[in-house]
C-alpha cells in the first residue's frame, strides 16, 4: 500500500511538473510571437519613413515624379471649427512612402500615428474582416494582427464613417490603449491622431469615446438620409465618456477606431474622430 501511495505521488508530481512546463512553454511561445510581430512593425516603420530626396521640392510628399491622388475628403470638409487643439503631432509624424509599403503588401491603405504612444502602425484592408485579426501587414500569421479598415468601407476614407479595427493586446500594443480614452485626462493629453494616406495627411480630432456592444450603431457605415446621419452623430456624441470641443456635422467624414473591451461579454470600446485634412 505504501508503495502504491509513493507511486501515485510521483505520478502526480510528474503530471503537475509537466503541466507547469507546458504552460510556461505556451507563455514563452506567445511572448516570442508578440516579439516577432513587434519586430516586423519596427522594420516597417523604418521602411515606411520617407527620408526625402535632394531632388524633391519642399512641398513634395512622395517620390520624385509621383503625383498625389485627388483628395476625396477635402472638397467635402465642413467649415466648422473644432476648438483649440494642439498640432504638435503633425510635425512629429514622418512622411510615409506608400510606394515602399506597396512592396510589402498591396493591401496597406494608410498609416495611423498617435504621438507619445505605441500606436504607430500601418492600416490594411482585406476582402473580409477576419484575415488581419491573425496576420501582420506583411501577410505573416501572427497574434498581433494588423490594424485594418472594415472590408465594406471604401479604401480612401470618403465614406461617412470609416472603421479601423485593432486588437486589445495584453502586451499593450496595437489598440490596447484605446480604452484609456474613457478617462478625460488621457483624452486631454492625446486629443488628436494623425493619419497618412496616399491622398495626403489628416488630423483625427476625437469627439467621442465609450464602451459599447459589438453590434451597436457605432458601426454604421452609411446613412439613408441627412436626418438619419444627424441623429447618429448626436447619439454617438451623447454616449461619450469624455467632453471635447470638436464640432461635427453631416458634412464631416468620421473615422471610428474600435477594439475589444472586457467590462461585459462582447464589449467593444470605440473612439470617434473627425477627419480633417492637413494643409501642406
On whether the CB atoms of residues 129 and 164 are closer than 8 A, the answer is no
Question: Residue 140 — pLDDT band, cuts 50, 70, 90?
Answer: very high
Q: What is the mean pLDDT of residues 50-72?
A: 41
Closest CA to 98 of 122, 78, 76, 117: 122
Nearby residues of 269 by Cβ (< 8 Å), 6 or more positions away: 168, 178, 179, 181, 182, 209, 210, 211, 212, 258, 259, 260, 261
Q: Above 50 in pLDDT, residue 276? A: yes
* Contact predicate 231/253, CB 8 Å: no
φ/ψ bin of 74: left (φ > 0), alpha (ψ from -120 to 50), beta (otherwise): alpha
User: Is 78 strand, coil or helix?
Assistant: coil
Does 217 have pLDDT greater than 60? Answer: yes
Query: Which has the minimum average pLDDT: 66-70, 228-232, 253-257?
Result: 66-70
The pTM of the full predicted model, rounded to 2 decimals, is 0.79
260 labelled catalytic? yes
Q: Which grid cell is 124? A: 490594411
The active-site residue, picked from 16, 146, 151, 260, is: 260
End-to-end CA distance of the chain: 85
Mean pLDDT of 107-133: 96
Amino acid at each position: 500500500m505504501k508503495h502504491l501511495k509513493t507511486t501515485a505521488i510521483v505520478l502526480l508530481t510528474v503530471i503537475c511538473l509537466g503541466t507547469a512546463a507546458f504552460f510556461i512553454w505556451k507563455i514563452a511561445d506567445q511572448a516570442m510571437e508578440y516579439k516577432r510581430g513587434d519586430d516586423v512593425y519596427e522594420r516597417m516603420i523604418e521602411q515606411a519613413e520617407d527620408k526625402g530626396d535632394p531632388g524633391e521640392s519642399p512641398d513634395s510628399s512622395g517620390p520624385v515624379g509621383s503625383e498625389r491622388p485627388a483628395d476625396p475628403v477635402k472638397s467635402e470638409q465642413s467649415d466648422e471649427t473644432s476648438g483649440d487643439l494642439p498640432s504638435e503631432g503633425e510635425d512629429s509624424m514622418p512622411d510615409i512612402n506608400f510606394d515602399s509599403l506597396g512592396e510589402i503588401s498591396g493591401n496597406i491603405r494608410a498609416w495611423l500615428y498617435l504621438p507619445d504612444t505605441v500606436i504607430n502602425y500601418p492600416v490594411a484592408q482585406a476582402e473580409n474582416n477576419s484575415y488581419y485579426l491573425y496576420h501582420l501587414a506583411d501577410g505573416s500569421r501572427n497574434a498581433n494582427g494588423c490594424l485594418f479598415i472594415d472590408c465594406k468601407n471604401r479604401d480612401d476614407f470618403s465614406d461617412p464613417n470609416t472603421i479601423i479595427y485593432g486588437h486589445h493586446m495584453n502586451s499593450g500594443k496595437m489598440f490596447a490603449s484605446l480604452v484609456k480614452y474613457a478617462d478625460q485626462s488621457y483624452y486631454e493629453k492625446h486629443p488628436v491622431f494623425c493619419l497618412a494616406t496616399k491622398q495626403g495627411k489628416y488630423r483625427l480630432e476625437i469627439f467621442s469615446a465609450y464602451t459599447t456592444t459589438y453590434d451597436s450603431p457605432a458601426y454604421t457605415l452609411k446613412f439613408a438620409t441627412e436626418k438619419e446621419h444627424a441623429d447618429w452623430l448626436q447619439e454617438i456624441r451623447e454616449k461619450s465618456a469624455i467632453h471635447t470641443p470638436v464640432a461635427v456635422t453631416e458634412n464631416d467624414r468620421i473615422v471610428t477606431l474600435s477594439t475589444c473591451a472586457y467590462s461585459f461579454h462582447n464589449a467593444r470600446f470605440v473612439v470617434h474622430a473627425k477627419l480633417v485634412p492637413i494643409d501642406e
